[in-house]
Amino acid sequence: MEKTLLIATTNRHKVEEICAIFADCGLRGWQFRTLADEADYQPPEEDGDSFAANAAIKAAAAARYSGMIALADDSGLTVEALAGAPGIYSARYAGPQQDDAANRTKLLAALSGVPDEARDAAFVCAVAIACPQADGSLRMLSCEGSCSGRISRQEQGENGFGYDCLFYLPSFGMTIAELPPEEKNRISHRSAAMREAARLLQTLG
């Protein structure tokens, strides 16, 4: 009998990546829903002080709302020259009403005087899985993945989303946005975290 996993996001790109990674891992026995299927859901305030804390907030809220096992991730970009910014504010770096393009423009401006060798960065992804228990409590599982690179001086590549077209991978000689989706799903921060999440879900199944 299949179990149901609520993926706590409405981001279509993120859902596609997660499902592709799970399929590549050979995860079996699960059917997936997303918050796009839950019209009445009101997302919680993400007021944690880390990626892991925000992932746990989102997973717990979705599990309590739905009664289903819920998985949430919180991910973003950390740049050494900016003392770890944009960090947990990656999605709203340029302001709550701005978009990915505005975030990238702000990032490039913040690094305009920084030499190439000092533009080291990492993508980080924290995953939380909230499992409702018979007594009304939640069992929480967590894992994390990262991917190291540096910030390029201009956007390159058409694949991916967010900061992908600025995230240069020296070992590949290109940005994440220039990689084929299947290659990104093999090496990305989300891939590392979701592969571990798949292992955790197998133990539940």
- Given 73, 74, 100, 135, which residue is catalytic? 74
Could you give the residue ranges of the DSSP H alpha helices within the chain? 12-25, 51-66, 100-110, 181-187, 189-204
Give the residue carrying structure tokens 């978009």: 99
| 3-state SS assignment for residue 186 | helix
74 counts as catalytic: yes
Phi, then psi, of 153 in degrees rounded to 5: -90, -10
Residues designated as active site: 74
